[in-house]
Structure 1
Amino acid sequence: MSTTVAPGEVHLATSLAEATAMLADLGKDGEAVAGGTWTMRALQRHVTPRHGYIALKRLPELHGFEPGDAVDLGALMTHSELAAIDAGPAFECVRSAARESAFPQVRNVATVGGNIRAIGFAEADLVPALLAAEAQLKLHSPGGNEVVGLVDYLAGRETRPAGEIITRVQIPTPSNRRSAFERLTVRTTGEYPIVNVAVSADIADGVVRMARIAVGSVEPVAKLCAAATELIGRPADDVTAMKAVGEAAAAELNARDGRDAPGWYRTSVLPTLIQRALARLATDSN
């Protein structure tokens, strides 16, 4: 199609097909918007405004919440809405990340899809939580539908096809899974974290059977730490293992320097945050 979006215009899409077609037509000159909290900071980030913006809030496919063996979230669900969902211990890291992120005014409009899609937003709180929770993304583009793991999506986020929209986020919630989230801020404007950490583990008979540790705000993009595998087969309350894994995870990362904190400080505080989160898992599993 030929876009009818004028320079700087925000077009309110009335269907998913229309939204994806317009975004595909605009290419790098277009951007999808929901809460707009990241887009509105474009000039502060020294990013040139786009030619056109496609607003998604009227698309029903991107709203709603469905419980089940895997929690199914609409990509336009806000942080405040996420924080109100009680979907069990496997979902707790996501709920906590949403509840603790930013300020109430931001949480009321910022969306899960926007948090995932925000390129350059190292401090995003939901992203490490979703990584730890093994989130899968449902995507729609003019070429059709696709389901992609968040790990793979982040690895190629900057080269995803034009016109692609995150429609749903699915999070498995097995009964033996526990999760937790921790963050450290400096209490300045925006409440961005210096470090945020999410952990998730399957625990049976007091022993860790599977573990994931995701770290955000340390490197430019949140990532899973391989050190989590060292917890497998250990008692969930093994303090020595928690400490060792926290230190090993920090050693994996190439920390970034920023106005809020130097890289060395981020990796210095990271082991303690990981230990706190893991200790919470052990407490919740008893």
Structure 2
Amino acid sequence: MPGIAEERLIVAETIEDARDALRQGRAVLAGGSWVMRAPVRGQALPERLVSVGRIAALGRVEVEENGYVIGAAVTHIALTEALRGMPQLTGLVTAAATSANPAVRRVATVGGNLCCVDFAASDFAPALLACGALVYLETAQGPVTLPMTEFLARRAEVLPRALLTGVRVPRSVRASAHQRLPMRKAGDYPVAIVSMAICGGELHIAVGSVEPVARRWTALEQALDRRALDPERAGGLAETLNDFNGRDGIEADGWYRREVLPALVRRCTAALLSGESR
């Protein structure tokens, strides 16, 4: 890999190999394109890395009795193909199929997207938050499972000592939708993202790219009646209940990220209702 000397990078063939590398103080190479641009952001490249792309178990999507398990090394394109035909997971399919650009989607992985702590424009973070996903981690001490909300809040602390092996989306997801506003000048990264899902009879709404870390929009969830969802009403409430502190970036100011949320809520609500009626 350009920019990383061979002795700085080892390739794990098994999860146990990766655990050993973590014990040696190596960092997992996750989100390679983001990591390799670290010098552009004024950050140093990690000194010692372990690649986990060859671990077969991390490259699978499995349908199990209590959920859908997505390996950390599954690419965006592979996930799109694996979940196609599952209308209840339309939100995740849309997140995978529209993130970045085709060249990136061929190589970028679910785990890499989630493990880039400073990457605020992740599509998978809000999509998985809305679906109530669980995150599976392997540490030197053994396996750990975290709710997506807790993982996002603690990942800067957890990831230096852990390998993200996959995520589980519960079977309780009945319908989901994902809407984003990309800007070409931002390299197709989204200015704002809204994801919605009906999970076990509850409406979940998550927002990404507006603040540094994706989060649930609990005020809007509580104000909306899932049984009488209406795009226009949802958009109006989004204007009233907009409690986000938009981040400023080279591609958009924080005020603009907040400003576009009601329109995205309208679009996402309409898409969710369309999926639920199938």
1:199 equivalent to 2:196? Answer: yes
For the Cα contact (< 8 Å) 2:232–2:266, is it kept in 1?
A: no
Alignment correspondent of 1:13: 12
Q: Distance in 2 between matches of 1:239 and 1:103?
A: 29
Alignment correspondent of 2:28: 32
Alignment correspondent of 2:256: 265
Deviation at 1:244, TM superposition (A): 3.2
1:64 equivalent to 2:60? Answer: yes
The verdict on how the C-alpha distance between 1:12 and 1:214 changes in structure 2, with shifts beyond 3 A counting, is same
Alignment correspondent of 2:92: 94
Deviation at 1:271, TM superposition (A): 0.8
For the Cα contact (< 8 Å) 1:90–1:172, is it kept in 2?
A: no
Deviation at 1:147, TM superposition (A): 1.1
Normalised to the residue count of structure 1, the TM-score between the two structures is 0.88
Deviation at 1:102, TM superposition (A): 0.7
CA RMSD of aligned residues (A): 2.1
| Structure 1 counterpart of 2:272, from 248, 270, 281 | 281
For the Cα contact (< 8 Å) 2:186–2:251, is it kept in 1?
A: no
Per-residue deviation, residues 119-162 of structure 1 (Å, max 9, x unmatched): 11001111111111111111111101111111011111111164
More helix by share: 2
Q: How does 1:100-111 map to 2 (within 5 A)?
A: 100-111=98-109
SS of the equivalent of 1:57 reads coil
Q: Distance in 2 between matches of 1:86 and 1:37?
A: 26
The verdict on how the C-alpha distance between 1:102 and 1:281 changes in structure 2, with shifts beyond 3 A counting, is same
Alignment correspondent of 2:163: 165
Gaps of 5+ in 2: none
1:23 equivalent to 2:22? Answer: yes
Deviation at 1:180, TM superposition (A): 0.5
1:184 equivalent to 2:181? Answer: yes
Q: Distance in 1 between matches of 2:160 and 2:98?
A: 32
The verdict on how the C-alpha distance between 1:269 and 1:161 changes in structure 2, with shifts beyond 3 A counting, is closer
**Matched residue type, 1:96:** T
**Matched residue type, 2:208:** G
Q: Distance in 1 between matches of 2:250 and 2:32?
A: 23
For the Cα contact (< 8 Å) 1:8–1:51, is it kept in 2?
A: no
Deviation at 1:32, TM superposition (A): 1.1
Deviation at 1:283, TM superposition (A): 2.3
For the Cα contact (< 8 Å) 2:96–2:105, is it kept in 1?
A: yes
Deviation at 1:73, TM superposition (A): 0.8
**Matched residue type, 1:210:** E
Q: Distance in 2 between matches of 1:194 and 1:152?
A: 24
Alignment correspondent of 1:246: 238
Q: Distance in 1 between matches of 2:17 and 2:5?
A: 16
Deviation at 1:47, TM superposition (A): 1.2
The verdict on how the C-alpha distance between 1:7 and 1:105 changes in structure 2, with shifts beyond 3 A counting, is closer
Alignment correspondent of 2:224: 231
Per-residue deviation, residues 225-272 of structure 1 (Å, max 9, x unmatched): 112122235413x245312332245x2211011111111111111111
| Structure 1 counterpart of 2:207, from 197, 207, 215 | 215
Q: Distance in 1 between matches of 2:107 and 2:88?
A: 24
Gaps of 5+ in 1: 204-208
Alignment correspondent of 1:206: none
